[in-house]
Structure 1
Amino acid sequence: MWTQAEFTLFQKYVFIVLVPIAIVVGSIGSILNVIVFSISTKLRKSPCSLYLIFSSIGFMAYLNVVALLKLLQVGFAIDPSVSWSWFCKLKFYFVGFLLMLPRTYLALAGIDRYLMSISNQHRLSSRKVAVKVIIITCLFWMIICVHNIIFYDALTSSNGLVHTCSSSPGAYSTFLSFYSVFINGLSMPLLMVIFGVLTVRNLQRHRNQIQDNNTVGTFQRRKKQEYVILRMLLVQLIVNIILTLPVTFYLCYSGLTQYTQKSSFRVFIENYTYNFFTLLQYISANNYS
């Protein structure tokens, strides 16, 4: 049976090996996404491509900021957030902002596919509308995530031995638990599932109508383009759900047990588990690249 020190050392080397790979591969993938969606004539005209471009940029920023900070903390025991209050606040502000922004853009791409499948709503699916929505979405999450700046701080234990960057136990921790489950964890996947199913139904309905009018060939070409993007979004959705729900439910568990007396070993196991769950999130970000 390994000791706590051996478990910690194992996790340290896992992060040192896997996180840099995730950052490099994810960044390269994001850059390639931006290039492909920007250069391709057919893809460049689609507002969905614009959402996917900004989603890729957002996930690249997430990996190079959030994942890098976690690598320094777990792999090299470097964590300025436990000493500097301003760094702690900004750290969790950008964790929340960079987590939700690209995922929202991805959900908007799914909504755009749905609008394109509705014959009388094409005017809502345009690059002009997409640019406005992208800006509004960015401003929205910039404002929503301010609560992290307000409630997170560099804290010191009563004996002065333990330094952490976290929120104090209380109403906010409970709120954060449910916020993590319903906003971070479930809202975007549910939106993508709903609009993905609606899009497939609309495309199927159009196919049946067009078959009656003997114009199957033209529709088949359009349907193929629609399904390529839709299939890509659905695959990303499935992987995202599998890899991000563990950390979401951990945060819910953490909030619900905040007043429970825990042994040092239980705290160690919880922190150890949480670190590995965050690693899954970084791998999930690579799925979008």
Structure 2
Amino acid sequence: MSSSAVSSLLLEANNLNYIAMMFIRCYCYIVIPPGTLGHLLSIYVFTRRSLLSNPCSRYFLAASIIGLLHTCYVLPMRMIQSAFVDTDPGAYSVVFCKITWLLLNSLRGLGFWFIVCACADRYLCSSRSINMRAWSSVRVANRVIPLTILIILVAYSHVPVFFEIDIIPATQKPICYPPGPPGTYRIVLSYFNLIFLGLSPSLVMLMFGLLTLRNVERAKRLRVVPTTETINITNRTTNTHMLRMLLVQVLVYCITGLTFSVALIITAINASAPKNAFQVAQENMINAAVGMLSTVGPCLSFYLFTLSSGLFRKELKKLYQKIRRTEIIHNNLRFKQLIQAMMEQ
């Protein structure tokens, strides 16, 4: 290849790398502020008395806390690693590389599996069996949430063992690869993520979602007249809104999770193939786009909740009214103090 062709190839590679960096920067700058505010509001809503007694709300609360960590840690870390030149701390510290990707993978996994737990809870709650409905309780949710965290951490305990700093052959720069170091482990990890983050949660969500809808349709046909009508109507309304929020979450998580996992598989399969600088830049750009879009569910769930549930919007409205009343009381107090000061003069 002539020197002019090599120079042209390097120029195109640099342009692609610049586009990828700017995409990650813009995405993080746009998503982090509203995502952080949204998760704080979600945590407030799901801790209200009207929702906190619902077990599905507990799983949404846990998912919102994980989403807040995802927004405030994962996105800034990905921006530091990928959106600026030679700023990845993991490329120069093996310990930082191992810990960072353990946390990044664990937080991503928790976001998916808490939604799976919510799906299972809705299925149990809608069951005709009293024994199965008993498993849909706050007590069970309080035990399942820490157990899920423990399982995810154990599932990714191999990351600190195998993740190492590697050198990109085309650019000769050190990097702590998101899909793991090149070789057999990267391929195994990619298929593990495909199963653990892509296929398994998506299939389980779909299964529980269909079973829940079947139970709901059966319950409508039965038309059982409850003895405590007011309480039962309130519970039914809350459960309906929880199901709506859950279905939207499932749709977003399934699409983004599967896309991310497939991209990891393609990267792992092509890892051993020789690449020039332009091909590496193409791969980085695709991974950047897919990796960032996979954070839509964990980082922007508040807006999905708001769009899909009137009950969620109602609690937000109460918060706004509360803040407004406090502001009016504060302004009236300041006005009275001002009038009193003027009269004393």
The normalised TM-score by structure 2 is 0.76
Amino acid at match of 1:287: L
> Counterpart of 2:220?
207
**CA distance in structure 1 between the partners assigned to 2:270 and 2:33 by the alignment:** 36
> Counterpart of 2:22?
13
> Counterpart of 1:255?
268
**CA distance in structure 2 between the partners assigned to 1:195 and 1:208 by the alignment:** 20
8 Å contact kept, 1:244–1:284: no
Q: Deviations over 1:216-238 (max 9, x none)?
A: x8776654432211111111111
> Counterpart of 1:240?
253
Q: Please tell me whether residue 283 in structure 1 is matched to residue 283 in structure 2.
A: no
> Counterpart of 1:31?
40
The alpha-carbon distance between structure 1 residues 147 and 209, as it changes in their structure 2 partners (threshold 3 A), is same
> Counterpart of 2:185?
172
What secondary structure sits across from 1:124 in the alignment? Answer: coil
**CA distance in structure 2 between the partners assigned to 1:220 and 1:54 by the alignment:** 26
The alpha-carbon distance between structure 1 residues 99 and 234, as it changes in their structure 2 partners (threshold 3 A), is same
8 Å contact kept, 2:14–2:281: no
CA-CA distance at 1:127 after TM superposition: 1.2
Moved more, 235-244 or 123-132: 235-244
8 Å contact kept, 1:203–1:223: no
CA-CA distance at 1:258 after TM superposition: 2.4
Number of aligned residue pairs: give it: 286
Moved more, 67-76 or 159-168: 159-168
Q: Deviations over 1:140-178 (max 9, x none)?
A: 111111111111011235799321113333321221121
Amino acid at match of 1:156: I
Q: Deviations over 1:32-64 (max 9, x none)?
A: 11111111x321111111111010000111122
8 Å contact kept, 1:244–1:280: no
**CA distance in structure 2 between the partners assigned to 1:267 and 1:7 by the alignment:** 10
Q: Which has the larger radius of gyration?
A: 2
**CA distance in structure 2 between the partners assigned to 1:159 and 1:99 by the alignment:** 30
**CA distance in structure 2 between the partners assigned to 1:158 and 1:255 by the alignment:** 15
Moved more, 12-21 or 95-104: 12-21
8 Å contact kept, 1:177–1:256: no
8 Å contact kept, 2:16–2:281: no
**CA distance in structure 2 between the partners assigned to 1:107 and 1:30 by the alignment:** 19
Amino acid at match of 2:39: S
8 Å contact kept, 1:97–1:142: yes
Q: Please tell me whether residue 69 in structure 1 is matched to residue 77 in structure 2.
A: yes
The alpha-carbon distance between structure 1 residues 34 and 160, as it changes in their structure 2 partners (threshold 3 A), is closer
> Counterpart of 1:153?
164
> Counterpart of 2:194?
181
8 Å contact kept, 2:170–2:276: no
Task: List alignment gaps of at least 5 residues for structure 2.
Answer: 1-7, 303-345
Amino acid at match of 1:137: T
The alpha-carbon distance between structure 1 residues 249 and 209, as it changes in their structure 2 partners (threshold 3 A), is same
The alpha-carbon distance between structure 1 residues 261 and 270, as it changes in their structure 2 partners (threshold 3 A), is same
Moved more, 47-56 or 244-253: 244-253
Aligned CA-pair RMSD? 2.4
> Counterpart of 2:337?
none
Task: List alignment gaps of at least 5 residues for structure 1.
Answer: none
What secondary structure sits across from 2:158 in the alignment? Answer: helix
**CA distance in structure 1 between the partners assigned to 2:134 and 2:234 by the alignment:** 21
The alpha-carbon distance between structure 1 residues 194 and 135, as it changes in their structure 2 partners (threshold 3 A), is same
CA-CA distance at 1:242 after TM superposition: 2.5
Amino acid at match of 2:212: T
8 Å contact kept, 1:181–1:252: yes
What secondary structure sits across from 1:3 in the alignment? Answer: helix
8 Å contact kept, 2:13–2:277: no
8 Å contact kept, 2:164–2:176: yes
Pick from 59, 70, 73: which aligns with 2:67? 59
Quick one: percent identity of the two aligned structures? Answer: 27
Q: Deviations over 1:215-273 (max 9, x none)?
A: 9x877665443221111111111122233332211111122222222222111100111
8 Å contact kept, 2:12–2:278: no
Amino acid at match of 1:83: Y
Pick from 229, 234, 242: which aligns with 1:229? 242
